[in-house]
Amino acid sequence: MSVISVILPVYNAAAYLPACLDSVLAQTHRDIEVIVVDDGSTDGSGEVCDDYACRDARVTVLHQSNGGPSAARNRALEEARGEYVAFIDSDDVVHHRYLEVLLAALEQQHADIVQSPYQLVPATQRSAYDPARLAQSLPKTYPTRVLTSSEAMFAMLYQQGTADSSPCKLFRRSLFEGLRFPLVYRVYEDLYLMAQVYPRIQRMVWIDVPMYFYFKQDSGTLNSLSIRRNDAFEVLETLEAQFLVTGKPDYVRAVRERRLSVAFNILRLLSRQPHTDANKAMAHRCWQHIKALRTESIRDSHARFKNRLTAALSYLLMR
């Protein structure tokens, strides 16, 4: 049976970690190694991890100073020995057949990556996703789509079903040889790495059966969210420069469209916040991107209708 390395970065998640680890260790695909990286937690998460390692030999715990999720995932990738890799966040849970179903789809289609959608759950409903619910029957059949390398890249950049996150996917571990999550970005680090991984694949499978349950936290800090989102511009501009150098004009258009989406989204977030100097500067930066990219978006037949419509409306808003 194929070994799957489950990579789980942890930072101050003691309240949610047991449910996450229980859902991973209850997988019907039993041949797994669970690499938990305690990224400098101060709330007792490290002790929870160590307790699970004592109870189940499949769990390995690595402790390190806080370096962020990218550093934690990179550390785990160095230790991973499975043929396949799955990333799971420490405050989420997965269906007990999650790995079994993903692996079966990957092997049946001779693919390099398989992805399924996540189900967004309000944090207030967390208790409803207990072991009994996570063991419920799944549909016997579900829609499946096979994408080439370029189709997966376009779907990710144009936001047409292929997510840029590292969770909700099963990868061949060989895809990460010589590649790691970038440490310089606070957001969109997943997108940056996926843009390096996708050119290495032959095919990717998308299966429409939600088995990953993502709990939406009420952070109450929209301002900090927006500030971190601002890093997305650097990620996308870096990718644009890479695609220009490698002669990928179609990818350049796609990444520019994604940059326009980011500008629209940050402006939406800013509309709920105080008009501080920092927020005004961020809004100005967003408008600079919008003015530079909106005409191209309107003409891009691959762009989402929402983006093209908003791009057209932006001419009225600027007046």
Supply the mean pLDDT for the chain: 93
pLDDT band at 222 (very low <50, low <70, confident <90, very high): very low
Give pLDDT, residue 63: 98
**What pTM, to 2 d.p., does this model score?**
0.93
pLDDT band at 227 (very low <50, low <70, confident <90, very high): low
pLDDT tens-place string over residues 65-75: 999 999 999 99
Give the strand order in the sheet containing 144-148: 59-64, 32-39, 4-10, 84-87, 169-172, 113-115, 203-207, 144-148
pLDDT tens-place string over residues 277-314: 988 998 999 999 999 999 999 999 999 999 999 999 99
Architecture per CATH, 4-216: Alpha-Beta Complex (3.90)
Cα distances (Å, whole numbers) of residue 103 to 11, 112, 203, 260, 273: 28, 10, 14, 35, 44
Residue 159 CB-half CA count within 13 A = 13
Token pair in block for residue 83: 């043929």
Decide: helix, strand or coil at residue 220. Answer: coil
pLDDT tens-place string over residues 164-216: 899 999 999 999 999 999 999 888 999 999 999 999 999 999 999 999 999 98
- Cα separation of 221 and 89, whole Å? 20
Nearest residue to 217 (alpha-carbon basis) of 90, 33, 104: 90
Give pLDDT, residue 220: 40
Token pair in block for residue 305: 């209708």
150, 249 contact by CB (below 8 A):
no
- Cα separation of 55 and 33, whole Å? 14
Q: Which helix (H) or strand (E) holds 192?
A: helix 189-197
**Burial of 182 per CB tally in 10 Å (0-12, 13-18, 19+):** middle
